[in-house]
C-alpha cells in the first residue's frame, strides 16, 4: 500500500469513528446524508463494501469486515475481527459479532494474562435476517436465507433457511425444505 493510500485510509478511519458514527440514524431527519457519509468513509477502509450498503449510527466496524450489496449493519452493532456479510442481509440494533475469545486453558495463569485465542472468522450468507441484540460467537457460519431471532446467542453454525432463537440458539423450524 502506498503512502497516499495509507494516509487516506487513516483519515477515513478517523472520520468514521469521530464524525460519521455519531450522525443520525438512516430514518431520522438528515439520515439519508448521514448514511451516505458512513458508507463513503467505510468504503475507504473496509476490505469490501458492496452497493447500497447501510451502516447505521453507532456501528463499530472493523477494517477486516466485508459487506455485500444491499446489506445493513444495525444501530450500535459491534463487529470484531474478520466478519463477512453477504448480500441482502438485515441486522437489528445492538448486535455483537465476535471472532476470537479469551484464552483460558492454563489454570496456573490468570485468564486475563493468557491473551486471546486465534481468530475464527464469522461468515453470514445472503438474504439473512438477524434480529436485535443477537450475539454471534467466533467461527460461526450463518447459512443463506436464515433468520436469527432477537436476543439469540449463536454458538454454532446455522443451516440454510433455518429459523433459530434462544440461548444457546436452537433451530425452531425451517423457512423451506432444503436438499442436502
List the 135-136 sheet strands across, edge first.
Answer: 78-79, 96-97, 135-136, 153-154
Is residue 102 part of the annotated active site? The answer reads yes
- Give the position of cell 483460558: 104
The residues, any chain, with a CB within 8 Å of residue 73's CB and separated by 6 or more, are: 54, 55, 56, 59, 61, 67, 79, 85, 91
- From the list 102, 156, 170, 175, the catalytic residue is 102
Residues annotated as part of the active site: 102
Amino acid at each position: 500500500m502506498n503512502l497516499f493510500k495509507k494516509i487516506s485510509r487513516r483519515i477515513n478511519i478517523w472520520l468514521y469513528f469521530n464524525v460519521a458514527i455519531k450522525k443520525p440514524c438512516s430514518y431520522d431527519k438528515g439520515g439519508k446524508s448521514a448514511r451516505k457519509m458512513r458508507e463513503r468513509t467505510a468504503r475507504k477502509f473496509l476490505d469490501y463494501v458492496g452497493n447500497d450498503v447501510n451502516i447505521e449510527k453507532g456501528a463499530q466496524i472493523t477494517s477486516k469486515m466485508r459487506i455485500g450489496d444491499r446489506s445493513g449493519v444495525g444501530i450500535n452493532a459491534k463487529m470484531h475481527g474478520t466478519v463477512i456479510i453477504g448480500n441482502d442481509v438485515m441486522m437489528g440494533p445492538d448486535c455483537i459479532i465476535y471472532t476470537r475469545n479469551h484464552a483460558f486453558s492454563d489454570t496456573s495463569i490468570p485468564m486475563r494474562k493468557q491473551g486471546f485465542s486465534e481468530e475464527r472468522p464469522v461468515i453470514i450468507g445472503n438474504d439473512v435476517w438477524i434480529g436485535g441484540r443477537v450475539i454471534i460467537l467466533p467461527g460461526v457460519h450463518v447459512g443463506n436465507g436464515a433468520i436469527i431471532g432477537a436476543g439469540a446467542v449463536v454458538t454454532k453454525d446455522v443451516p440454510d433457511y433455518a429459523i433459530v432463537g434462544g440461548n444457546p440458539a436452537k433451530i425452531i423450524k425451517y423457512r423451506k425444505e432444503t436438499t442436502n
